Homo-oligomer: A and B are copies of this chain.
Amino acid sequence: MKRRGMRDVAAAAGVSVSTVANVLNNPGVVAEGTRRRVEGAMAEIGFVRSAAARQLRGLPSRLVGSVTLDQSNPFYAELNRGIEDHLDEAGCMLLACSTDQRGDKELRVLQLLEEHSPRGVIITPTGANPGRLAAVSGRGTPVVLLDARQDGADLCAAAVDHVLGGRLAGEHLLGLGHRHIAFLTAGDDIEPVRERRAGLAAALEDAGAPPPVGVRAAEAGFSAGTDAAVSKLVHFDPKPTAVVCVNDIAALAVIRALQARGLRVPGDMSVVGYDDLPFAAHVRPALTTIARPIRALGRVAAELLLAEGPAGHRHRELMFAPRLVVRATTGRIG
């Protein structure tokens, strides 16, 4: 069976294609009877409009690209859902791509996306392709940055104040008496991670504590890499009494690695996560973490995107404040 177009509908209804076009785009102008006949024909032959043809004619696309580091990560999954929710209201759909924080993948994905001339692209940049997003934007595809600031160009952005996030973690720990605090990351640092470290460092400096020592795991999650990082962590001198982790998944892995070495959390080491994913409250000990409004972030990014007209938009940056959630993985020193 083949796909039927407006031409077939026109034939079946005994009218011209422009009349069919009118019942689709301008129903008020078509005579009642004709309209019914055409609608009948459409139903009859199973007419499906061609988005490709409309796009070719220059109408706005209904596709929006979302480029995240990994859509299977609960954080980005939730984010995409926030985006989708808003797009849905506007009759648009989500093209979901993952880069695994690799510059080459990011390039491929942006290329493919651009070929489909989407309504816009929402992206958490890997940072490996500076200037590229400005180029995309310059070619007419609106770009909204997520968790990143201006890529040189002036693009819209939906961001979280990660400096504040890092600071909140630091001040909490300081308040519990910790002074030797580590910052654990996974993989290469992207901008939001550098900001968190900066916030943490600022809090420590303000309190006259030594700067945070950095530890890097090969990747977030349960692996030899995390184990090695934790091993390094506990052998620092002076030994840190607390570690703030780049996200909840890394934090959980760190906790398990610590426990595997016979160390107690928070007795021997306090641990702070980031994101407040749904599981954070339910692991044991329950995770102290920095929460941010994930779904709202996605929604806002989508709103920013759809608000960009083909021309004459002024670029805006929306900033969310994260918030500390104290649970059971942090405790008073001693």
Contacts and interface: CB of A to CB of B under 8 A. Distances in A.
Interface of A: 1-3, 46, 48-53, 55-56, 62-63, 70-74, 76-78, 80-81, 84, 88, 91, 93-98, 105, 109, 111-117, 135, 138-140, 252, 256, 279, 282-284, 295
Q: Which 9 residue pairs across A and B have the least CB separation, nearest first?
A: A284-B284, A77-B77, A72-B81, A279-B279, A52-B55, A96-B96, A52-B52, A51-B115, A51-B116
A97 B94 contact: yes
A46 B135 contact: yes
A76 B96 CA distance: 13
Contacts of A50: 56, 115, 117
Contacts of A81: 70-72, 98
A138 B1 contact: yes
A72 B78 contact: yes
A60 to B, nearest CB: 12
B72 A77 contact: yes
Contacts of A283: 279, 282-284
B112 A93 contact: yes
B279 A117 contact: no
Nearest to A53: B56
Nearest to A282: B283
Contact of A1 (B70, B72, B105, B139): B139
Given A115-B48, A284-B284, A94 B95 contact: yes
A129 B135 CA distance: 43
Contacts of A139: 1, 3, 46, 48
A113 B140 contact: no
B3 A140 contact: yes
Contacts of A84: 71, 96-98
A50 B93 CA distance: 19
Nearest to A105: B88
A97 to B, nearest CB: 6
Contact of A80 (B74, B91, B96): B96
A93 B117 CA distance: 13
Nearest to A283: B282
Given A71-B84, A284-B283, A1 B56 contact: no
Contact of A77 (B71, B112, B114, B279): B71
A73 B80 CA distance: 11
Contacts of A1: 138-140
Contacts of A74: 72, 74, 77
Given A49-B115, A71-B71, 11 more contacts: A46-B135, A48-B111, A48-B117, A52-B116, A70-B81, A72-B81, A72-B295, A93-B113, A94-B95, A256-B282, A279-B279
